[in-house]
Chains A and B, each alone.
Chain A
Amino acid sequence: MKKIKKIEIKVNGKFKNITENYKISDLVKDLKIPLKKVAIEHNQEIVDKKKISKIILKKDDKIEIVHFIGGG
């Protein structure tokens, strides 16, 4: 049986294991993120939401998903 290679990334400061060929769009789907209400950063660079199905995540990638909350 072929062993599935685990890749570790960080999402909002928390470790997450993903499989090979895992894209940002897969992450958005898995986490049930309402895409219209968030902004995403990939290794400190803002991600164009239209391109999330093209970006394959690599080991040690850092993803930040932010939204608006109450603040002064």
Chain B
Amino acid sequence: MKNDKIVIANKKFNSRLIVGTGKYKNMLECAKAIKLSGAEIVTVAVRRVNITDKKKPLLMDYIDPKKITYLPNTAGCFTSEEALRTLRLAREMGGWKLVKLEVLGDKQNLFPDMIETLKSTEVLAKEGFKVMVYCNDDPLMAKRLENSGADAIMPLAAPIGSGLGIQNKTNIQIIRKQTKLPLIIDAGLGQASDATIAMELGCDGVLVNTAIAKAKKPFDMALAFKNAVIAGRQSFLAGRINKYLYGNASSPKIGIIK
């Protein structure tokens, strides 16, 4: 396990848990939860500076981008143009090339618009971005993204913020079999065990935001997710037993007292 690092766009990370920085009560809570989670990558959003209230705290004052990798995300973008504009601005801000692309297609279920997502992936890859792509749990689309230059495939477990956990294990397993790219479950996890399941399916990592930020005790949940990801990874590497329909006694059958 010691040298079991996740490699994304040629960069090595120890933690396989990526956390979002949204939905926390305040920046302090967010920063503490991140620390407890052990995450080395956090997603961040690009938004307008509040020009009327200059005293509003800045994310960078709480989470040091030199210590934690910022992963600019296009959450909230509904077209390729919006997403590209957002990520170009993110790159301008501090040279961030590793980005997370997310182009949504429906305001209610927040499912990704895969046509726009695919289009954006192609453009971003050509512009030199390292693109981690939020997508549906569709093996064919995942393949297309890979062929378009994606650096990581990030299928949803369930709708963003739904907390439903992995809905289609079969598809995730098929995507796992077909790709050597980092496969990271993004969106829809509800509790720590969901992360363990993702890791046991062979995923390289998970991205969690709401499940930690909106838990009754976010700090405890951050720690739970950290442990759950480690446990799931260990379990996957250890190799599970085959499944049998009938019982198979654990104790020897010989020497039973009569």
Contacts and interface: CB of A to CB of B under 8 A. Distances in A.
Interface of A: 11-14, 31-34, 36-39, 41, 44, 46, 64-72
Given A12-B51, A66-B49, A71-B75, 11 more contacts: A31-B51, A33-B49, A34-B58, A67-B46, A68-B72, A70-B23, A70-B24, A70-B30, A71-B21, A72-B73, A72-B161
Interface of B: 20-24, 27, 30, 43-49, 51-52, 54, 58-60, 70, 72-73, 75-76, 85, 88-90, 92-94, 160-161, 187, 209-210
B58 A70 contact: no
B51 A68 contact: no
* Binding site secondary structure of chain B: mixed
B41 to A, nearest CB: 13
Contacts of A37: 58, 60, 93
Given A71-B20, A71-B75, A72-B23, A66 B46 contact: yes
Nearest to B27: A70
B34 to A, nearest CB: 10
B89 A70 contact: no
Nearest to B74: A71
Given A39-B93, A67-B93, A72 B58 contact: no
Contacts of A66: 46-49, 89, 93
Contacts, number: 97
A68 B45 contact: yes
B88 A46 contact: yes
A11 B51 contact: yes
A32 B50 CA distance: 11
20 contacts: A31-B49, A31-B54, A32-B54, A34-B58, A36-B94, A37-B58, A44-B85, A46-B92, A64-B48, A67-B58, A68-B70, A68-B90, A69-B46, A69-B59, A70-B24, A71-B21, A71-B22, A71-B76, A72-B160, A72-B209
5 nearest A-B residue pairs (beta carbon) = A71-B45, A72-B20, A72-B209, A70-B21, A39-B92
A25 B82 CA distance: 26
A2 B39 CA distance: 60
Nearest to B186: A72
A4 to B, nearest CB: 22
Nearest to B62: A70
B60 A12 contact: no
